[in-house]
Amino acid sequence: MPEKFALKPDEKRLIRRAKNGDSGAQKGLYDLLAPKMFAVCLRYMGDRMAAEDVLQDGFVTLFTKLDSFSGIGSFEGWARKIFVNTALMSLRKSDVLKDTGDIEEARGVIGDQVSAVQEIGYKELVRLVGELPAGFRTVFNMYVVEGYSHKEIGEALGISENTSRSQLQRARTLLQSKIKKLTDDR
């Protein structure tokens, strides 16, 4: 019975060859992963140039750590963690969460507006998330998209769980107001 995340034979060959330093195989892995991983980097960085820098750094890390990929599970999932961590390291260096507040400051939030979200397209939603301030965007991506817990986010970013919750709530509130404005303007 095939494993859910079993590697395709061509992926196995590419990975094996890349582990042995084959630059053609490394280029093949880059071509395979770059579009999806750039989207991850852009979602965290919110800026194309910064996302390109993180993408490049992520691939350096990926090729450096390629020997640690066991071949079990999803290669793309393994790679995605590298790119998320690379983006987080970059964001920590720029201290994007230095002006964060506690959850007590985030009271009085409007409820979910699912119908408004359904009215806009995926690309518009991604664009709106990309417009969030870096700290809000980072926590939003980690919690909503990547599935990290507030405890994990706090540990990864060096903030409290309450600050993570606050940032998520603020991100949601700001995103809801952006979605409302967008749908009201239609």
Whether residue 53 lies inside any domain: the answer is yes
Range of the domain at 159: 103-184
Has residue 50 been placed in a domain? yes
User: Cβ neighbours of residue 145 under 8 Å, at least 6 residues apart?
Assistant: 43
DSSP state of 107: -
Residues 114 and 87 in one domain: no
Can you give the CATH number for the domain in which 53 is found? 1.10.1740.10
Together in a domain, 116 and 80:
no
63 and 124 share one domain: no
At 20, the pLDDT band (50, 70, 90 cuts) reads: very high
pLDDT at residue 186, as a whole number: 66
Question: What integer pLDDT is reported at residue 128 of this predicted model?
Answer: 87
Average the pLDDT over 3-14 and give the result: 75
**Is-contact 134 100, C-beta < 8 A?**
no
| Co-location of 83 and 36 in the same domain | yes
Q: How far is Cα of residue 104 from the mean position of the Cα atoms in its chain?
A: 26
Residue 74 belongs to some domain of the structure: yes
Q: Note the pLDDT tens digit of each residue in 43-87.
A: 888 889 999 999 999 999 999 999 999 888 889 999 999 999 999
Q: Where does the pLDDT of residue 98 fall: very low under 50, low under 70, confident under 90, or very high at 90 and above?
A: low
Confidence of residue 96 (pLDDT cuts 50, 70, 90): low
CB atoms within 10 A of CB 54: 26
Overall domain count for the chain: 2
- Tell which wins on pLDDT, 123 or 27: 27
Residue ending a domain, among 48, 72, 93, is 93
The pLDDT score that the predictor gives to residue 103 is 37
Model confidence over 120-168: pLDDT tens digits? 677 788 888 888 998 899 999 999 888 889 999 988 888 899 999 999 9
pLDDT at residue 119, rounded to an integer:
55
pLDDT of residue 114: 43
State whether residue 175 is helix, strand or coil. helix
CATH assignment of the domain containing 177: 1.10.10.10
Taken as a whole, the chain contains a residue count of 186
Q: What is the pLDDT of residue 95?
A: 67
Helix (H) or strand (E) holding 152: helix 150-157
pLDDT of residue 130: 86
Q: Are residues 75 and 123 in the same domain?
A: no
Residue 100 confidence (pLDDT): 47
